[in-house]
Structure 1
Amino acid sequence: MWEYNEEYKALFVQETSFYNHIVLGCFFPPATGEYFSHFIQTWLRNYIAGVLLYLVSGLLWCFVIYYWKRNLYIPKDCIPTKGAMVMQIYVAMKAMPWYTLLPTCSEYVIENGWTKCFPRISDVGLLAYFAYLLVYLLIVEFGIYWMHRELHDIKPLYKYLHATHHIYNKQNTLSPFAGLAFHPLDGILQAVPHFISLFVVPVHFTTHIALIFVEGLWTANIHDCIHGKVWPVMGAGYHTIHHTTYRHNYGHYTLLMDWMFGTLLEPTLDSDEPKKVY
């Protein structure tokens, strides 16, 4: 087992500084670092990267499924209007500065040695790396499931936070852009399990940062209404049911938690009617 020391701190800071340099160097003069603290630079990097990831992936996604391959993946009457997508982008952009505070705080606590994070896979070995990663993902899956479920079950949380996202409750209002169209606090709460996991299980630093940004791609995927039918993945077919029933399919990456806690509702193969799983 590794032990946090100044060498590790230097490795973490060196890596985050490298990422800061790559992103900020494209948008700001080289002297930017002289005016902003390392924390602010990290937040700016995460904010810029988050915005680019959201807009570029969303635009490409929508271009393919709504225009280039129109009617191939989505029926014509299920394609959202441009106005609906613009509104989703507006909601997400208002929240993005707050969303990106979470990975910035993650990096801060990691750099200061307050977590179980490790900088190199060689510190634990490949087998342990994958074992820790599996535990990390299970904790995240469990945490997101219950956070999401409580955002529905606790009425004030739903009314003042989660309802912002659930105005998109039909196929013709859902789009990849709806994936991050949350109240800022709602979006942060649903990502908090990633942060908490750092204190529970050892996880590779770069992998943690990558998974945070994979969240943005995944949440776009489950809002595009294209059901991939890959068991046990929580595909868009399952999440679309969540947006129409409000009481099922709270999970994130997989069906595991919904199956365990009795909230799984499957789309049937031969009709649009969902099927309850007991």
Structure 2
Amino acid sequence: MGGGGDVEQYLQGFVDQTTFFNEVVLAHLLPSSWWSTLPHVWQTWLRNYIAGTLLYLLSGFLWCFYIYYLKRNVYVPKDAIPSNKAMLLQIYVAMKAMPWYCALPTLSEYMIENGWTKCFSSISEVGWFAYAAYLIIYLVFVEFGIYWMHRELHDIKPLYKYLHATHHIYNKQNTLSPFAGLAFHPLDGILQAVPHVIALFIVPTHFLTHIGLLFLEGVWTANIHDCIHGKLWPIMGAGYHTIHHTTYKHNYGHYTIWMDRMFGTLRDPVDESSEKMK
């Protein structure tokens, strides 16, 4: 990149993108007088809060409606369907934490806009091959980071007692639902997503891909708490994660089973079913 003016112009491109996203979301949902005078960073937080809340509620309601009502007793046995009261409690816990969750993507966008990270704004800057290679490295780093962050939230007793235990009250199939995916103590949820932000300082990352992956977390966590074993190797799906909620010491991984296999904490749902049948 050239001189200081070129750097400022390049970074302004990130600001322009976030400004566009802010306006798309906020202008369609709120009166202009409610948000247009806010500083840029607060507009970004408000956009993330609204988008995150809508994504959580819509994906959760639609998936629960499908598996618990339209496909009742097909995917989940009747006695394993969580009560409406349990799901409402999960929504309540997630909604209390949502304002804090949204601080993390807001912070990452702020750091990107100020040039503190290795983010790039366009795939054409590096080419598709380099983009794919960087994305794989990014995902491996995030998988490794989330695995160990999650594991330490169990192994370090004060962290478990004061943070992660809030999520592990959902420890049976009839208490787990897609809404449990974000039902964490706020700091717990942030800590488990922090590897996404740390990666920005280590791996060249496409800006929009980073933002998309952060929001994909909301959909992914809903999916792995629905108790339906998708049987798609090597994905760490709900079959594996349900075991995590019942044994507390297996299947800490996020997207795949590789970290658990590598570090000796993997427990396969097929093996679990075989043991129960004996």
TM range (shorter): over 0.9
Give the Cα–Cα distance (whole angstroms) in 2 for the partners of residues 146 and 191 of structure 1.
Answer: 12
- Match of 1:25, SS state, is helix
- Report SS of the residue matched to 1:89: helix
Match of 2:37 among 35, 55, 60: 35
- 1:50 equivalent among 38, 49, 52: 52
> What residue number does 2:105 align with?
103
**The residue matched to 2:202 in structure 1 has which SS?**
coil
Q: Which residue of structure 2 aligns with residue 208 of structure 1?
A: 210
Does residue 1:182 correspond to 2:184, yes or no? yes
For the 8 Å contact 1:77–1:172, the answer to whether it is kept is yes
SS at match of 1:127: helix
- The two structures, once aligned, show a CA RMSD in angstroms of 1.7
C-alpha contact 1:2 1:123 (8 A) present in aligned 2: no
- CA shift, 1:28, in A, is 2.1
Cα displacement (A) at 1:6: 1.5
Structure 2 residue aligned with 1:84, among 79, 83, 86?
86
Which TM-score applies when normalising by structure 2? Answer: 0.96
Per-residue CA deviations over 1:90-125 (Å, capped at 9, x if unaligned) read 000000000000000000000000000000000000
What corresponds to 1:7 in structure 2? 9
Matched letter for residue 116 of structure 1: K
Per-residue displacement from partner, 1:205-248 (whole Å, max 9, x unpaired)?
00000000000000000000000000000010000000000000
Q: Which residue of 1 aligns with 2:65?
A: 63
What's the CA shift for 1:32?
4.5
Structure 1, residues 29-49: CA drift from partner, whole Å, max 9, x if none? Answer: 234554200000000000000
Q: CA deviation at 1:80?
A: 0.3
Figure out how many residues of one structure are paired with residues of the other and give that number: 275
Equivalent residue letter for 1:213? F
TM normalised by structure 1 equals 0.96
Q: Which residue of 1 aligns with 2:244?
A: 242
Match of 1:199 in 2: 201
Identity of aligned residues (%): 72
Aligned amino acid, residue 137 of structure 2: V
Where does structure 2 lack aligned partners over 5 or more consecutive residues?
none
- Alignment counterpart, residue 265 of structure 1, candidates 264, 267, 276: 267
Runs ≥4 in structure 1, deviation > 3 angstroms?
1-4, 31-34
Q: Relative to structure 1, is the Cα distance of residues 223 and 243 closer, same or farther in structure 2, using a 3 angstrom cutoff?
A: same
Query: CA separation in 2, counterparts of 1:134 and 1:170?
Result: 34
Equivalents in 2 of 1:228, 1:59: separation in Å? 20
Gaps of 5+ in 1: none
Give the Cα separation in 2 of the matches to 1:113 and 1:270.
Answer: 48
- Do the aligned partners of residues 51 and 2 (structure 1) sit closer, same or farther apart at CA in structure 2, a change above 3 Å counting? farther
Query: Larger % of helix: which?
Result: 2
The 10-residue stretch of structure 1 (3-12 or 41-50) with the greater mean CA deviation from structure 2? 3-12
The match for 1:113 is 115
Q: Write the distance in 1 (CA, Å) between the matches of 2:10 and 2:35.
A: 22
Q: Which residue in 2 is equivalent to 1:222?
A: 224
C-alpha contact (below 8 Å) 2:26/2:35 kept by paired residues: no
Output the CA distance in 2 between the equivalents of 1:202 and 1:150. 27
Q: Partner of 2:138 in structure 1?
A: 136
Which residue in the other structure is 2:127 paired with? 125
| Alpha-carbon distance, 1:272 to partner | 6.1
